[in-house]
Amino acid sequence: MNYFLKSAIGLLMALCLCLPAQAKDFSHNLLIILDASGSMMGRIQGKSKMRIANQTLLDLCGKLAKQKDLALAVRVYGHQSDKKKKDCQDSKLELAFDRLEVKKVKSLLARVKPRGYTPLAYSLAQAPQDFAGIKRGKRTIVLITDGLETCGGDPCLVAKELAQSGLEIKLHVVGFGLKNKEMKQLECLVKPSGGMILPARNASELARALDTVVKKSLEPNLIVAVQDSKGKPRLCHIEIFKSKASKSLDLRQGPTARFTLTPGVYDILVRDFKTRQTKRIKGVEIPKGKTVEKTVVLGSGRLLVKLETTQNKPIKGYVEVTLFEEGKKLNSTGSYLTGKPHVFTLPQGNYRVSARVDKMGYKDVKENIQIKTGQEEQITFRFGQATLQVVLEDANGAKLPAYVEVWFMKNGNKAGYKSASSKDGTATFTLVPGTYSLKTRRMDTKVKKLVPDFKISDQEKQIKKVIFD
């Protein structure tokens, strides 16, 4: 691997560990590499090539300023040292990636004066460092040059290694005032990444060439629209992954999102803002030169839930509905039922539904409830009910004010409890059938009394006397 490129990639890895995250992730990240070598003092139609290039770039930036999802960076080479110094590292990232601000670009270009050599290979090898901190979005380089490498580097090799680095950077070249033979020599720069190379003999051709490559860079090749089963748009997070990969490449919001991706195979993950319904579309192929449009339908159905006793009488309780995908919990929703059936409107999918009538730890669970678009499922939970009366007395049979805790026992462990303060020495509890234990405490002397595990059955009315000595 080219030494400069290898060093830059190594530095990029180090920078990723210490650089602060960008304030915003952009869908498009455009790096302009501008030639400011001594030959840019040459004149075309009475103006220096540098002046023409600067004005053309400013005009382009004016057009791009409305692009909210575009980040721009500018690297300039040949502008810091005179040719006599033969400075082959005369290349500097003058504007780091950030939202495009025309004033900053104008201020930079006003300071740039053509002076030195043309270190093409070195400048391209700095690209991994220039893109450090860019986590998402398309990465594009537009190189504007009026000459070939003058520092003995091999820009063709650097371009090849850059394309193989895994950074997914597309390189375009605009040859300003170059001869056909020179343009041929630069074709090797764009071939590895599938970029474009365009000639420009004057100001109008330079503007047209830059418009063409930038428009191509910003042109979406994947359009994702999300709607419900009735065709109504759904506001969602829309996220793009390389096929079978876990690292997110781009994330957009809205019922429709447009992405500019390198040709390949991708997965699309859609998550509804309101319902948190999630749907993954796998293996979407983006061919070269084509735009793919995908419509994702997030359908919904209804789930009617009833809570009743074993005697078919409505009861109050809490119901939780949990959505699973490929065995993984995605999200859940719940509602307290006041004795009436409750209808959940849910995304299509596989659910686990649980219900409880108190907070003591007993839950009834129904697995693999399938909700289908446009259909309604009905489920009923039936709970047994029993009555426990706790009577607290002293040795002479006099009722004692006391505090009572009734613990629900699950697999020999305490799972939850109900409590009551009884001033008249009697406390009554409605319980689901199961195993329980008691913990009591006199209000006057604070003396405690425990009652070990006992069982109570459906429809049973059981009295437990607790005698304090």
pLDDT for residue 19: 37
pLDDT of residue 52: 97
In angstroms, the CA 320 to CA 332 distance is: 7
Domains in the chain with CATH codes: 3-218 (3.40.50.410), 222-297 (2.60.40.1120), 300-383 (2.60.40.1120), 386-468 (2.60.40.1120)
pLDDT in tens, 91-122: 999 999 999 999 999 999 999 999 999 999 99
| Alpha-carbon distance values, 268 to 141, 296, 323, 450 (Å) | 26, 10, 19, 59
Measuring CA to CA, which residue among 20, 27, 121, 130 is closest to residue 75? 130
**Which residues of the chain have a pLDDT value below 50?**
3-5, 8-23
Which amino acid, one-letter code, is at 342?
Answer: H
Alpha carbon of residue 143 to chain centroid: 32
Q: 3-class DSSP state for residue 76?
A: strand
The pLDDT value recorded for residue 24 is: 55
C-alpha to C-alpha distance for 355 and 170, rounded to whole angstroms: 55
User: Given this model, what pLDDT does residue 11 score?
Assistant: 44
Residue 40 token pair:
């840019």
The residue type of 135 is K
Give the contacts of 66 (CB within 8 A, at least 6 positions apart): none
Partner residues linked to 272 by β-bridges: 236
> What is the C-alpha separation between 86 and 116, in angstroms, rounded?
7
CB-based contacts of 379: which residues, under 8 Å, 6+ apart? 303, 304, 305, 306, 353, 366, 369
Supply the pTM of this predicted model: 0.58
Q: How far apart (Å, rounded) are the C-alpha atoms in residues 434 and 425?
A: 24
Task: State residue 73's pLDDT score.
Answer: 97
